[in-house]
């Protein structure tokens, strides 16, 4: 579910509430959400630790704790992190509740149970599988059109699956990949290496633009996504192609099509995004 803009929105909303607070205890209702630790050790390890800040890398959230410990969280498809009062009714699929020293709670809910929470030593963060192999951050200085050109030169895969490859560029998911390709007027089935320099430049700009819009609109709430306070975003109203199959293209009026590419649903305008 959450892609870079959603994870960034959650990061901002939670940092505001959690920074400087201390974890005082944990309740775990579904052990498998914790990766590499049993609930007892997990609780012991974080209890008494102050929250120094929250970082995002790709679609990962990293809660930095005092004493050189980091909690790495991935929400996958349906994960949610909610800061709320203890009186708030416990939502279905709430698998972990963190108790804070302000009496409030941080709750982790995940309908499909794909999400993961993992504790690591901060100095081991760079070696963590998943983090270690993340590609370039789309808003970093390293993400240039020259970088894209160079990286795509020898890639024989289709551009859509490449955009979803987190070891290539970090943070893009199915919604923003479709939106970026539409904005750049590139068909999702184009072989990456065959894009012209002009097309690569357009794609570079389009990726940043759709992700930035997503953040400014506080995320895309289609089904489950809400921020750390339970508030939905508004970016779903701005989507040009994702989920709009059968509806007219905003640019040319032709019906948007939906097709499975690399095992993922892809939405595009057959006239604006010719093969």
Partner DNA sequence: CGTCGCTCCTGGATGC
Partner DNA sequence: TGCATCCAGGAGCGAC
What CA–CA distances, in Å, run from 179 to 35, 51, 112, 220, 227?
Answer: 33, 35, 25, 12, 21
Give the Cβ contact number of residue 161 at 10 Å: 19
Q: Which of 43, 158, 147, 151 is nearest to 99 (CA)?
A: 43
Is residue 253 at the binding interface for DNA, with CB under 7 A as the rule?
no
In terms of Cα–Cα distance, which of 219, 221, 225, 187 is closest to 203? 187
Interface of this chain with DNA, residues 17 to 56, rule: CB under 7 A: 32
> Contact between 58 and DNA (CB under 7 A)?
yes
Name the strand (E) or helix (H) holding 57.
strand 51-57
By CB under 7 A, the count of residues binding DNA is 41
Q: Which of 12, 264, 270, 271 is catalytic?
A: 264
| Under rule CB under 7 A, residue 6 binds DNA | yes
Please identify which residue in 84, 175, 210, 256 interacts with DNA, judged by CB under 7 A. 175
The length of the chain is 275
113 binds DNA per the rule CB under 7 A: yes
Please say if 264 is a catalytic residue: yes
Q: Shortest Cβ distance from residue 232 to DNA (Å)?
A: 9
Q: Is 59 a catalytic residue?
A: yes
CA neighbor of 61 nearest in space, from 83, 40, 43: 83
Should residue 218 be labelled a site residue for DNA when binding is judged by CB under 7 A?
Answer: no
d(C-alpha 107, C-alpha 105), whole Å: 6
Stretch that binds DNA, among 40-48, 110-118, 179-187, 248-256 (CB under 7 A): 110-118
Q: Indicate the residue among 140 and 265 with the shorter CB distance to DNA.
A: 265
9 with 227: CB under 8 angstroms? yes
Q: Are 68 and 30 in contact (CB under 8 A)?
A: no
Residue 190: phi and psi, rounded to 5, are -60, 140
- Least distance CB 37 / DNA (angstroms): 16
- What mask of x and - would describe binding to DNA in positions 143 to 162, judged by CB under 7 A? ------------xxxx--xx
Give how far Cα 220 sits from Cα of 179, 203, 228, Å.
12, 20, 14
Question: Which residue number, 51 or 70, has a Cβ lying nearer to DNA?
Answer: 70
Residues contacting residue 171 through CB under 8 Å, at least 6 positions apart: 3, 4, 7, 58, 59, 137, 138, 211
- The residue from 11, 59, 116, 160 that is catalytic is 59
Q: Out of 21, 27, 52, 114, name the contact with DNA by CB under 7 A.
A: 114
220 near DNA, judged by CB under 7 A: yes
Tell me if residue 2 is catalytic: yes
Which residue among the candidates 3, 6, 15, 179 is catalytic per the annotation? 3
Q: Where in the sequence numbering do the catalytic residues fall?
A: 2-3, 59, 264
* Residue ranges that bind DNA, judged by CB under 7 A: 1-3, 6, 32, 58-59, 74, 76-77, 92-93, 111-114, 129-130, 133, 155-158, 161-162, 164, 166, 173-175, 220-225, 260, 262-265
């Amino acid at each position: 579910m959450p892609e870079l803009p959603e994870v960034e929105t959650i990061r901002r909303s939670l940092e505001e509430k959690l920074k400087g607070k201390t974890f005082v205890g944990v309740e775990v209702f579904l052990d498998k959400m914790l990766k590499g630790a049993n609930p007892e050790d997990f609780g012991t390890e974080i209890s008494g630790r102050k929250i120094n800040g929250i970082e995002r890398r790709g679609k990962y959230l990293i809660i930095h704790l005092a004493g050189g410990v980091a909690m790495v969280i991935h929400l996958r498809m349906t994960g949610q992190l909610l800061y709320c009062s203890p009186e708030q009714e416990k939502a279905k699929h709430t698998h972990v509740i963190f108790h804070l020293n302000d009496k409030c709670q941080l709750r982790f809910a995940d309908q499909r149970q794909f999400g993961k929470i993992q504790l690591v030593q901060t100095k081991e963060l760079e070696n963590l599988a998943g983090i270690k192999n993340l590609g370039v951050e789309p808003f970093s200085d390293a993400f240039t059109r020259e970088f894209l050109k160079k990286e795509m030169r020898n890639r024989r895969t289709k551009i859509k699956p490449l955009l979803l490859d987190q070891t290539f560029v970090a943070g893009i998911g199915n919604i923003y990949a479709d939106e970026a390709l539409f904005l750049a007027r590139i068909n999702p089935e184009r072989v990456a290496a065959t894009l012209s320099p002009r097309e690569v430049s357009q794609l570079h700009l389009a990726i940043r633009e759709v992700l930035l819009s997503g953040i400014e609109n506080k995320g895309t709430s289609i089904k489950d996504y809400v921020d750390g306070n339970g508030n939905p975003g508004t970016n779903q109203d701005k989507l040009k192609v994702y989920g709009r199959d059968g509806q007219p293209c905003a640019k040319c009026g032709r019906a948007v099509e939906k097709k499975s590419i690399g095992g993922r649903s892809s939405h595009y305008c057959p006239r604006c995004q010719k093969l």
